[in-house]
């Protein structure tokens, strides 16, 4: 057996990520961010209005749901832990 069979291959200074220089990596990252931002499509005014109303409606629904559950569980806790039943 030769020694080359037991040794692992050496890594070059440039791996799959590219250069080890942090400034090169930061520059590449910034270029990739700018390229991705160019793909973003801003919503129209009408779409923005629909999205806003949808989100506010959902938030209102969740507020009412949590409030209703709070009142229901409060009533059940009052019923379960009050001596003499409700209203005593």
Structural domain span for residue 51 = 17-81
Cα–Cα dist 76/33, whole Å = 53
Q: Is residue 54 part of a domain?
A: yes
pLDDT interval class at 82 (50, 70, 90): confident
DSSP string, 64-78: HHHHHHHHHHHHHHH
Which CA distances in Å does 63 have to 49, 74, 77?
A: 21, 16, 21
pLDDT in tens, 10-44: 554 455 556 688 999 999 999 999 999 999 999 99
Total tally of structural domains belonging to the chain:
1
The model's pLDDT over 48-66, given as tens digits with 9 standing for 90+, comes to: 999 999 999 999 999 999 9
Asked whether the beta carbons of 49 and 57 are under 8 A apart, the reply is no
Residue 65 is assigned to a structural domain of this protein = yes
Does residue 36 sit within a domain? Answer: yes
**pTM (predicted TM-score):** 0.54
């Amino acid at each position: 057996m030769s020694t080359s069979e037991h040794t692992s291959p050496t890594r070059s200074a440039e791996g799959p990520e590219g250069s080890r220089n942090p400034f090169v990596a930061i520059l590449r990252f910034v270029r990739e961010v700018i390229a991705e931002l160019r793909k973003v499509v801003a919503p129209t005014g009408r779409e923005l209005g629909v999205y806003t109303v949808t989100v506010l409606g959902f938030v209102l629904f969740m507020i009412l749901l949590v409030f209703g559950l709070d009142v229901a569980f409060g009533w059940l806790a009052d019923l379960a832990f009050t001596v003499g039943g409700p209203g005593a």
